[in-house]
C-alpha cells in the first residue's frame, strides 16, 4: 500500500483523479493501559501502519465512502440527519460526519476511498485511524482543514465511536493518531488534555509488535464492564475518578472491607498503572530501558491478574519474550482480550527475538503470529 496505489484505486473506483490524500496512523501504547477513562495518564506512540484516504469533491450533497478492506460502499446524505446504518464499518465515518456537521463545519459532497495496513480489530486502533482519516478528508474537502483544533477533533472522533459504533472507548487512540510526532511518545493527561512529548528514538532498542490475531471488539461488553467497575470503585472511595486515589488508599479500603472483589482488583490495577506510567516516563528520560522493561512486565501482570483483560496467547508471547536474550520488557497493548503484545528489545537481538517468539507461539498454538518492528511515527496529516 502506498500513496500512489491509493490514488490509483480512487481513479479506478470513481473514474476520476483524487484531489488530495490524508493519512492517520495506528498506535501502540507503551504503558498506561485502561487508565484513560479513569482520568489517568497514557504513553502511546503512533506506529508506521496507517490508514490512507483519497478524496475528491462531488457536485451534490452526497458523501460516498469506499474501503479497500470492505466489500460494501456507504453513502451519507448531507441534507438529512446522519444515523448509524449498514454497512457497519462506515459508522465510524458517519459518526464523524455527524459530529462535524453538528459543530457547524460546512461539509460538502465528496467521494472518499480508504486503504489501511492497520490490522482490523487487532488492538492497534484501526478504528481511530479510520475516524481520524475520515475527519481529515471531510475537512479538507470542505476547505476547512484547520477548522477544528486537534484536542477537540479527538473528542469528536471518540464521540463518533461511542454513538455510532457502540464502543465506549477512552480518548487515547484518537489523541495519539492526531498528536503523534516521529521519534516521540506522548504522555497524555486524560483529565486535563495536557500532553508532553517523551523521546522514544534510542537507536540501541527496537520495539516489536506481535499480533496474536485473536480478534477483540470493545463493543462486546468486557470493556464497558471494566469501565463500570472502575467508576463504582471510585465512588466507593469517595473520589471523582481513580486518578485521585493512591495505592495506600486502595489497600486501606480493601483491608477495611470498603472495597472488595472485582472492584478492588480493578482499582488496584488502575492506580498502580498510573504510577507505573509516570515512573516509565522517568525511566525513558534517563535512558533506563531495563527499568522501563520491568514496568512493562509489571503492567502486563496487573492487566492479566487484576484487570483480567489478557488471554493465553498474549501471556504466551510475554513469557516467550522474557526468555530471550536482549529483551528489556514485554506486555499486552491496547484494550486486550486478544490483539497485540509489544516487546522492547536490543536492536542487535531484535530479529532473533522476533523469530524465537513466533517459533514458540507456533509450537504452542499451531499457527504463526505476525511480528513487525516499528518506530514512533508521525501523527495524522493532510497531504497536498
Residues that bind ligand GLA (CB under 6 A): 29, 33-34, 36-37, 169-170, 172-173, 218, 334-335
Taking the complex as a whole, how short is the minimal distance between the CB of residue 273 and ligand GLA, in angstroms? 9
Complete DSSP assignment for 104-151? T-----EEEEEEE-SPTTSSS-HHHHHHHHHHHHHHHHTT-TTSS-HH
How many whole angstroms separate alpha carbon 241 and alpha carbon 235?
Answer: 8
Q: What does the block give as the cell for 102?
A: 453538528
Instruction: Between 20 and 99, name the residue whose CB sits nearer to ligand GLA.
Output: 99
Residue 314 to residue 341: CA distance in whole angstroms: 6
Q: How far is the CB of 222 from ligand GLA (least distance, A)?
A: 11
Q: CB 118 → ligand GLA: shortest distance, Å? A: 13
Please identify which of the residues 115, 173, 211, 306 carries the catalytic annotation: 173
Residue 77, preceding peptide bond in cis (omega within 30° of 0):
no
Comparison of 169 and 267: residue with beta carbon closer to ligand GLA: 169
Cell readout for 299 is: 503492567
Q: Most distant CA pair in the chain: distance in Å?
A: 69
DSSP annotation of 24 reads E
Which residue, 334 or 379, has its beta carbon nearer to ligand GLA? 334
Q: What angle do CA 229, 233, 238 make, to 5 degrees?
A: 150
| Local structure of 54: helix, strand or coil | strand
Active site residue 202: no
> Minimal distance in Å, beta carbon 335 to ligand GLA?
3
H-helix or E-strand spanning residue 328: strand 327-332
Looking at beta carbons only, is 33 or 313 nearer to ligand GLA?
A: 33
Q: Of the two residues 227 and 262, which places its CB atom closer to ligand GLA in the complex?
A: 227
Per the DSSP assignment, residues forming a β-bridge with 299 are none
- For residue 243, the minimal CB distance to ligand GLA (Å) is 14
Shortest CB 36 distance to ligand GLA, Å:
5
User: Is the CB of residue 223 less than 8 Å from the CB of residue 121?
Assistant: no
Helical (H) or strand (E) element with 274? helix 261-285
- CB closer to ligand GLA out of 39 and 173: 173
DSSP label at residue 324: S
The DSSP 8-state label assigned to residue 20 in this structure reads: E
Q: Which residues are known to be catalytic?
A: 173
Amino acid at each position: 500500500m502506498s500513496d500512489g496505489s491509493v490514488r490509483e484505486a480512487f481513479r479506478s473506483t470513481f473514474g476520476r483523479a483524487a484531489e488530495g490524500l490524508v493519512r492517520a496512523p495506528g498506535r501502540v501504547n507503551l504503558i498506561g493501559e485502561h487508565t484513560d477513562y479513569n482520568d489517568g495518564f497514557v504513553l502511546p506512540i503512533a506506529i508506521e501502519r496507517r490508514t490512507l484516504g483519497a478524496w475528491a469533491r462531488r457536485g451534490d450533497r452526497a458523501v460516498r465512502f469506499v474501503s479497500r478492506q470492505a466489500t460494501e460502499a456507504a453513502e451519507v446524505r448531507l441534507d438529512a440527519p446522519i444515523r448509524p446504518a449498514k454497512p457497519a464499518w462506515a459508522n465510524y465515518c458517519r459518526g464523524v460526519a455527524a459530529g462535524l456537521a453538528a459543530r457547524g463545519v460546512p461539509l460538502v459532497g465528496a467521494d472518499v476511498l480508504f486503504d489501511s495496513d492497520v490490522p482490523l480489530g487487532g488492538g492497534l486502533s484501526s478504528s481511530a485511524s479510520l475516524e481520524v482519516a475520515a475527519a481529515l478528508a471531510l475537512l479538507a474537502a470542505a476547505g476547512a482543514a484547520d477548522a477544528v483544533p486537534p484536542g477537540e477533533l479527538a473528542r469528536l472522533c471518540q464521540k463518533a465511536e461511542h454513538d455510532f459504533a457502540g464502543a465506549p472507548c477512552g480518548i487515547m487512540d484518537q489523541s495519539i493518531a492526531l498528536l503523534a510526532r516521529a521519534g516521540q511518545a506522548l504522555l497524555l493527561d486524560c483529565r486535563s488534555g495536557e500532553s508532553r512529548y517523551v523521546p522514544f528514538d534510542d537507536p540501541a532498542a527496537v520495539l516489536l509488535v506481535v499480533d496474536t490475531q485473536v480478534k477483540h471488539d470493545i463493543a462486546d461488553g468486557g470493556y464497558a464492564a471494566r469501565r463500570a467497575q472502575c467508576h463504582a470503585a471510585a465512588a466507593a472511595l469517595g473520589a471523582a475518578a481513580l486518578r485521585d486515589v493512591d495505592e495506600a488508599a486502595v489497600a486501606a479500603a480493601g483491608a477495611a472491607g470498603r472495597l472488595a472483589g472485582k472492584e478492588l482488583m480493578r482499582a488496584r490495577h488502575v492506580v498502580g498503572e498510573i504510577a507505573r506510567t509516570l515512573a516509565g516516563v522517568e525511566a525513558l528520560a534517563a535512558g533506563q530501558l531495563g527499568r522501563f522493561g520491568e514496568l512493562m512486565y509489571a503492567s502486563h501482570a496487573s492487566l492479566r491478574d487484576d484487570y483480567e483483560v489478557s488471554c493465553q496467547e498474549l501471556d504466551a508471547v510475554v513469557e516467550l519474550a522474557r526468555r530471550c536474550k536482549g529483551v528489556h520488557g514485554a506486555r499486552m497493548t491496547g484494550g486486550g482480550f486478544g490483539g497485540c503484545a509489544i516487546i522492547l528489545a536490543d536492536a542487535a537481538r531484535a530479529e532473533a527475538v522476533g523469530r524465537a517468539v513466533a517459533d514458540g507461539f507456533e509450537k504452542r498454538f499451531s499457527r504463526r503470529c505476525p511480528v513487525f518492528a516499528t518506530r514512533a511515527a508521525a501523527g495524522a496529516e493532510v497531504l497536498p
